[in-house]
């Protein structure tokens, strides 16, 4: 077989019955998507297609030629993303791939490198930007074979959760950007475009170099179990957040500035609150009883405002200070920003200055390539046309300000971005597939 050529005669056909639903699909599996792999077993792609498309049939408005290509990743904690296939999830329920195929999508799953991976020589091969480059290479492989790959390679929709949600966000923000080119060349990716049509992002852990300050802006009053030193760090980090926010010069959809004052109050905070208020009202519409939630402010039977501090107390702090760039390099993010020879590094000036282990700082460029925020105003990056970002209203893995700022930037760039804070939802994945599929069907 020629390199990077999709051989559509190499497949198996299978039938699975899960939860009483029958799915017959065609599976093209373990196809290398680069010519010079660093992790040959992992840098492969699986493509699944509803078998009915090969019998001349269709599912809803989709058929072999026009079905969107749904591209979920399995990245969590910035660890490597495994190759998966239709089947059951950890709860023995039909997994997302199974449901996506039943719905009529073509599904493509790429294995991608992640932090902590080493090669035989003991070198770290999964540090940033490896994960993004692998996903881009997989997209390029699909485009390279657009004439033979089932579905519409101009309708690629990525999906992921947490670190995987970040990966999906970055894919949507950095299409074809030259920053990634040398890395893509090195692994032997096809010489093709890697922009995508849409990105679905569940609780994306993005903008990590600004997440410590955002976290303390939100949780600075949640300090019960902190030492005096960490309380002082929290206050210092919280003060830095408005400086960052104001440097972005974000605007809302009416063109009004989304700033914060020295206290951390101001229009950006109101912007974040508006998504929580929307979430509460959406929940009320579904028939929920929210009368016991003491931080909601009511007007004519609807939630008109919230007490933000009360909301933060309800959400509760989950992470220490600093939350992301740990002073002794214990987080997954420290490892994301390692090098071939160093397992982990700092990625903020604050933690570098206060390092408890004299660790090095990651290069600016490496940090940038892991942050979709850095590419939205860059014309060299082709943006996805549509985004759907879900961050659970009680998910405290990052501050609510993080997805809110990203949403504001996307809207400014003319991207159709939808930000949701689903009520009483934790740090979780794919919990509303019906709504996700409805959204996909409405944009393609």
Residues that bind ligand DHB (CB under 6 A): 76-78, 162-163, 205, 324, 332-333, 397
Q: In terms of CB distance, is 153 or 332 closer to ligand DHB? A: 332
Q: In terms of CB distance, is 24 or 82 closer to ligand DHB? A: 82
Cα separation of 76 and 54, whole Å? 34
Q: DSSP string of 418-444?
A: EEE--TT--S-SSTTHHHHHHHHHHH-
Q: In terms of CB distance, is 334 or 407 closer to ligand DHB? A: 334
Tokens 């393609």 — which residue? 444
**Are 396 and 316 contacting, i.e. CB atoms less than 8 angstroms apart?**
yes
Q: In terms of CB distance, is 183 or 324 closer to ligand DHB? A: 324
Tell which residue, 219, 210, 262, 162, has the closest CA to residue 405: 210
Could you tell me the smallest distance in angstroms from the CB atom of residue 77 to ligand DHB? 4
Which one-letter DSSP state was computed for residue 10?
A: -
Q: Is 276 exposed, middle or buried (0-12, 13-18, 19+ CB in 10 A)?
A: buried
Q: In terms of CB distance, is 100 or 205 closer to ligand DHB? A: 205
User: Which residue number has the CB closest to ligand DHB?
Assistant: 162
Measured CA angle at 21 (ends 17, 24), to 5 deg = 60
Q: In terms of CB distance, is 4 or 171 closer to ligand DHB? A: 171
Alpha-carbon distances, residue 341 vs 121, 124, 126, 306 (angstroms): 10, 6, 11, 48
Could you tell me the smallest distance in angstroms from the CB atom of residue 332 to ligand DHB? 5
Could you tell me the smallest distance in angstroms from the CB atom of residue 112 to ligand DHB? 13
Could you tell me the smallest distance in angstroms from the CB atom of residue 80 to ligand DHB? 12
Could you tell me the smallest distance in angstroms from the CB atom of residue 323 to ligand DHB? 7
Q: In terms of CB distance, is 76 or 150 closer to ligand DHB? A: 76
Could you tell me the smallest distance in angstroms from the CB atom of residue 309 to ligand DHB? 23
Could you tell me the smallest distance in angstroms from the CB atom of residue 207 to ligand DHB? 12
Cα separation of 246 and 258, whole Å? 8
Cα separation of 310 and 193, whole Å? 47
């Amino acid at each position: 077989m020629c390199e990077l050529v999709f051989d559509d005669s190499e497949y198996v056909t299978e039938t699975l019955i899960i939860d009483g639903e029958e799915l017959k699909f065609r599976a093209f599996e373990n196809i290398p998507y680069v010519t010079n792999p660093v992790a040959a077993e992992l840098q492969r792609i699986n493509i699944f297609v509803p078998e009915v498309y090969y019998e001349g049939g269709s599912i809803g408005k989709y058929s072999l030629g026009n079905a969107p290509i749904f591209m979920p990743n399995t990245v969590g904690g910035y660890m490597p993303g495994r190759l998966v296939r239709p089947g059951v999830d950890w709860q023995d329920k039909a997994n997302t791939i199974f449901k996506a195929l039943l719905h009529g999508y073509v599904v493509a799953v790429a294995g991608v490198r992640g932090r902590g991976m080493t090669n035989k020589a003991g070198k770290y091969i999964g540090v940033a930007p490896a994960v993004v480059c692998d996903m881009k290479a997989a997209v390029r492989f699909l485009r390279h074979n657009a004439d033979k790959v089932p579905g519409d390679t101009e309708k690629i929709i990525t999906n992921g959760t947490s670190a995987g949600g970040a990966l999906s966000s970055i894919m949507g923000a950095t299409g074809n950007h030259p920053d990634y080119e040398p890395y893509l060349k090195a692994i032997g990716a096809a010489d093709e475009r890697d922009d995508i049509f849409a990105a679905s992002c569940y609780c994306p852990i993005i903008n990590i170099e600004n997440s410590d300050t955002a976290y303390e802006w939100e949780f600075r009053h949640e300090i019960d179990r902190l030492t005096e030193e960490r309380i002082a760090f929290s206050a210092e980090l919280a003060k830095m957040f408005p400086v960052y926010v104001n440097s972005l010069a974000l605007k809302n959809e009416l063109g009004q500035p989304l700033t914060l004052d020295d206290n951390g109050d101001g229009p950006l905070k109101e912007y974040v609150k508006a998504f929580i208020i929307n979430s509460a009202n959406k929940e009320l519409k579904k028939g929920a009883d929210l009368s016991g939630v003491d931080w909601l402010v009511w007007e004519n039977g609807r939630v008109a405002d919230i007490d933000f501090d009360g909301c933060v107390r309800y959400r509760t702090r989950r992470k220490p200070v600093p939350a992301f760039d740990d002073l002794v390099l214990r987080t997954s993010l420290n490892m994301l920003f390692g090098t071939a020879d160093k397992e982990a590094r700092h990625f903020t000036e604050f933690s570098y200055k206060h390092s408890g282990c004299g660790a090095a700082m990651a290069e600016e460029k490496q940090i940038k390539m892991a942050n979709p925020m850095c590419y939205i105003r860059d014309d060299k990056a082709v943006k996805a046309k549509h985004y759907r970002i879900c961050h659970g209203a009680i998910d405290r893995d990052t501050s609510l300000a993080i997805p809110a700022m990203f949403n504001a930037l996307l809207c400014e760039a003319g991207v159709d971005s939808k930000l949701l804070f689903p009520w009483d939802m934790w740090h979780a994945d794919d919990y509303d597939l019906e709504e996700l599929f409805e959204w996909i069907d409405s944009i393609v």
